[in-house]
Structure 1
Amino acid sequence: MTDHGPSTAGILASLAFVALGIVAGIANARQVDRVRRTFAEGLAAEAVVLATYKTESTSGVGDNRSTTTTHHTILAFRTLDGREFRLDERNGRRRAVGDRIEVRYLPERPDRAVAVDRGPGEDIAGWVLCILLIAGGLVGLAISLSPNSIDVPNPRTWIH
């Protein structure tokens, strides 16, 4: 059996996936904390839907092409001190122009207001991405560090 040792490129790529998953997890945790804090401490305001639109992005090549559609809602609201803000809410609930909804905002950051009817599972996608990146990186690391167990026989020895 031949042991070629661990692959440096495989180890580095795997560690990059793990690091990316950790960075994504930290960013997602900060977003979740910001939303939680906005709900707990934020001020309420009524927002009106000004417009809705969608954007599409395509990735991949040939048969592996996929299109992602993002639904946007433009919300406008006025803070208690009279300042007007507009938000571009992405992939939230589908809304119609003219709908009125409640938003909450922190007085120091009204530009980061959050719709009150925001679904509880809207942060799950971020956590799933983190888990997949870290798990994929750890699997790749395990494969890169495992000894090469495939022994390819020399074809010249097949003929007697």
Structure 2
Amino acid sequence: MTAPDRLAPGDPAPDFTLPTDTGETLALAALRGRRVILYAYPAAMTPGCTRQACDFRDSLASLQAAGYEVVGISPDQPAKLAKFRERDAITFPLVADVDKAVLTAYGAFGEKQSYGRTVTGVIRSTFVIDPDGKIEHAFYNVKATGHVAKLRRDLGLD
């Protein structure tokens, strides 16, 4: 496997309909007309992913006030996402991309460097999707800690 193709501003955001942490499904098309922050993370209930999810949770009200919806995506099963939501009081949708097709379409699954080794996995990434369904920003290889604060600065919210 080689490095995945990356999305760039202006590209259409790959559409999806995926199961959520609540047992329902979420379609990206249903969020048209709003700005969406879609963030890809490797695994629910791990230290870095928990820190990042809690940062988004703690910033959710101000992000929503600025017109953004937040959605987390990982290859976890919906049942694990439900436990994650309950354990950490996550207040935004978490979608399950078990076969990694959507993560791959976003360029957020593939070869990456981990502790000096090349491995295949989820590339921690964040995508800002405009109301028309186009990529406004695509951030790859983001850090779990401090990413939400940096994103807020990049979006001109702080």
Taking structure 1 as the reference length, the TM-score comes to 0.20
Which structure's residues are more often helix, by fraction?
1
Taking structure 2 as the reference length, the TM-score comes to 0.20
Tell me which structure has the larger Cα radius of gyration: 1
